[in-house]
Structure 1
Amino acid sequence: MQQAGAPRASRVKRFIVTGPALVALMAADQALAQTFIDAGDQEIIDNTAQSTQPNPWDTGFLQVDGTLTIGETGAVTSSITYVGGDPAAANPAVASVAGTGAQWTLTDGLFVGDINDGDMTVGAGGTVTSSYGIVGSSDGVLGTVEVAGQNALWENTGTLSIGN
Structure 2
Amino acid sequence: MLIIPSAFAGGAMIIDHGVHEIVGGLTPTRPSPWDLGTDGLVVGSVSNGYVTVQDGGHLKTTSSVLGHFRGSEGAITVSGDGATWEDTGVLFIGREGNGSLLIEDGGRVTSLMNYIGDVSGGLGSVRVSGDGSIWELRISSPLASTEAAEFSKFLMEVL
Give the shorter-chain TM-score range.
0.7 to 0.9
Separation in structure 1 between the aligned mates of residue 108 and residue 41 of structure 2, nearest angstrom: 18
Aligned counterpart for 2:110 among listed residues 129, 136, 153: 129
Aligned counterpart for 2:30 among listed residues 39, 53, 65: 53
For structure 2, list consecutive stretches of 5 or more residues without a partner in the other structure. Answer: 146-159
Report the counterpart of residue 77 of structure 1 in structure 2.
Answer: 60
Q: Tell me the TM-score normalized by structure 1.
A: 0.76
Q: Percent identity over the alignment?
A: 30
Aligned counterpart for 1:36 among listed residues 14, 17, 21: 14
Report the counterpart of residue 114 of structure 1 in structure 2.
Answer: 95
**RMSD of aligned alpha carbons:** 1.7
The Cα shift of 1:110 comes to: 1.1
Runs of 4+ that moved beyond 6 A? none
**Structure with higher strand content:** 2
Separation in structure 2 between the aligned mates of residue 86 and residue 130 of structure 1, nearest angstrom: 22
The Cα shift of 1:88 comes to: 4.5
The Cα shift of 1:73 comes to: 0.2
The Cα shift of 1:33 comes to: 4.1
Q: Say which SS state the counterpart of residue 137 (structure 1) adopts.
A: coil
Distance verdict in 2 for CA 1:141–1:7, change over 3 Å: closer
**Structure with higher helix content:** 1
Contact 1:39 1:93 in 2 (8 A): no
The Cα shift of 1:43 comes to: 0.3
Q: Say which SS state the counterpart of residue 92 (structure 2) adopts.
A: strand
Separation in structure 2 between the aligned mates of residue 86 and residue 116 of structure 1, nearest angstrom: 5
1:44-102 Cα offsets, whole Å, 9 max, x none, are 00142x1001111012310011001000100000001001113353xx21110010000
The Cα shift of 1:160 comes to: 3.5
For structure 1, list consecutive stretches of 5 or more residues without a partner in the other structure. Answer: 1-5, 10-30
Bigger Rg, which one: 1
Q: Tell me the TM-score normalized by structure 2.
A: 0.79
